[in-house]
Amino acid sequence: MQEEVANMSVGPGNKPGKKGVARLLAAANYSKQGLVAAWRNEEAFRQEVIGTCLVVPLALWAGETPAERAILIAVVMFVLPIELINSAIEATVDRIGAEKHPLAKIAKDTGSAAVAVGLFAAFLVWCCILIPKLPL
């Protein structure tokens, strides 16, 4: 019996739970629940979704090639998962405790910095693509 236990491989592929299509459907449902929770509870996420909805048509109009359009849209959309991760960090830290702790501050500030870096990267890419097109 001990040999059987010792020979069993333990790893991500051997996790208990749903497998195959059932796992994919469950994961899609969890993702939907996460998006709904972020929309309901995170003003920054709502603002970034609305901003994305506003600039995607601009990207389609301003980009001259399919590659430019894709880049302009992608850099803006990449801010959304960064914001979702930041929200997850904040929720986890808040769940652990409400007292102020230096490590909790670092976690929250670092998540916020990730969003800021993503927004700055999007701004730079838009500037690099659009400024040369301005009639200066």
Q: Which among 75, 14, 85, 95 has a CA at the least distance from the CA of 45?
A: 85
Cα 4 from Cα 82, distance rounded (Å) = 43
Q: Which of 42, 83, 90, 99 is catalytic?
A: 83
Assess whether 99 carries a catalytic annotation: no
State the Cα angle at 104 between 101 and 109, rounded to 5°: 125
Active site residues: 83
